A and B are shown apart, each in its own frame.
Chain A
Amino acid sequence: GQNIDQPTEMTATEGAIVQINCTYQTSGFNGLFWYQQHAGEAPTFLSYNVLDGLEEKGRFSSFLSRSKGYSYLLLKELQMKDSASYLCAVMDSNYQLIWGAGTKLIIKP
């Protein structure tokens, strides 16, 4: 079966750095997405990785290792508004998105 694993919840301090991991087992691979979802709102796109390596976008970076079936989202200089759930999703060989359950990130002052 296809599976996406990510931690259920993480806590970090304002101004710090946090890394949210995602491991996957899917039928084929056509890219990995990270979305941010604030409570009660819709998910919004953060990043897309299809090749190994690090993609940096301001305070957010996303890393991919296809051989290890592993990705992480790195958030720097954390702000209170970064409190949200972070969803990892993989596009399989049929171009279907497989979603993880999301990681709830709690930022403390």
Chain B
Amino acid sequence: SQTIHQWPATLVQPVGSPLSLECTVEGTSNPNLYWYRQAAGRGLQLLFYSVGIGQISSEVPQNLSASRPQDRQFILSSKKLLLSDSGFYLCAWSEGSISGANVLTFGAGSRLTVL
């Protein structure tokens, strides 16, 4: 069966510090991978998605970046965090085929507080 791991679960970082959130998927190959951010009272905001190694699509211009160094590894990074980067970050995967029925399976989430 497929599993998704995301870490760290929580972190508190000062403004201007770097960020690295990591996500790995097991039990599948060539998945679609996603990074979302969820702010209180708002819908999930898609930040990045990837359909393959080294292929990253950015949905929202900001000071975050994503990388996919291996087929089942997805990393969210920032060189200098802003206060507005605080939020709940979710990694997700879906089957690699393009289909309306692709169900997203989410990692447990990472709660980031920037002070």
Give the interface of A toward B (CB within 8 A).
Answer: 4, 8, 30-31, 33, 35, 40-45, 48, 50, 87, 89, 91, 95-102
Contacts and interface: CB of A to CB of B under 8 A. Distances in A.
B100 A45 contact: no
A30 B5 CA distance: 28
B111 to A, nearest CB: 8
Nearest to B98: A95
B73 interface: no
Interface of B: 41-46, 90, 98-109, 111
A-B CB proximity, top 5 nearest:
A30-B100, A99-B43, A42-B106, A31-B100, A99-B44
Interface of chain B, main secondary structure: loop
11 contacts: A4-B43, A35-B104, A43-B44, A43-B90, A43-B104, A50-B100, A87-B44, A95-B100, A95-B102, A97-B104, A99-B44
A44 B107 CA distance: 10
Given A43-B90, A48-B101, 18 more contacts: A4-B43, A31-B100, A31-B101, A33-B103, A35-B104, A42-B90, A42-B108, A43-B106, A45-B105, A48-B103, A50-B100, A50-B101, A95-B98, A95-B99, A95-B102, A97-B104, A98-B43, A101-B43
Given A31-B101, A91-B100, A102 B108 contact: no
Given A31-B100, A42-B90, A95-B100, A101 B42 contact: yes
Nearest to A102: B43
A104 B105 CA distance: 21
A50 B111 CA distance: 33
Contacts of A102: 43
Nearest to A94: B98
A87 B107 CA distance: 16
